[in-house]
Amino acid sequence: MQDNSSKNFVTELTHLDAQGQAQMVDVSGKTPTVRQAVAAARVRMLPETLAAIEAGNTPKKDVLATARIAGIMAAKQTSNLIPLCHPLPLQKVTVEITPDPQLPGYHIQATVKTKAETGVEMEALTAVSVAALTLYDMAKALEKSIQIEAIHLISKTGGKSGDYSSVITA
């Protein structure tokens, strides 16, 4: 007897049509609601690199401001970067970059908010990813071994599927 549980699961995915082809989900019948998502990432580096960035002593100058702006811009461009994502009117995008000498490196957190028919998880994840990549780009002259880690969704609120909070603490 063949196990069809994975087949049933696949046919229930909203991003696939009856033939299993990718499709953009029709959200036109949904009521716009307030939705928010928070995502995080870590950027690990040598203590000397962290110290140079904190002192503003880098070849590309204000590394953190550039990374923050890149994260905000990325959230606004998510539907152009990720196939099948809906373009959304974003009401709020914040990107916080916090130094952590114990890591050593930075914790990046993005919060994205909208009032729309679908959620903003991908926008928050894109924001932290691009902020981390930009931090790397801005500091790679100091260190090539910088590591981007633990990109994940912390929480989301609103929508039909309800609220979500990650069990990941990293």
DSSP element (H, E) containing 170: none
Terminal Cα distance for the chain, rounded: 42
137 is catalytic: yes
Short-list 64, 90, 66, 95, CA closest to 77: 90
Which of 26, 100, 137, 163 is the catalytic position?
A: 137
Residue 88 Cα distances to 75, 77, 82, 118, angstroms:
10, 9, 13, 8
- What are the catalytic residues? 137
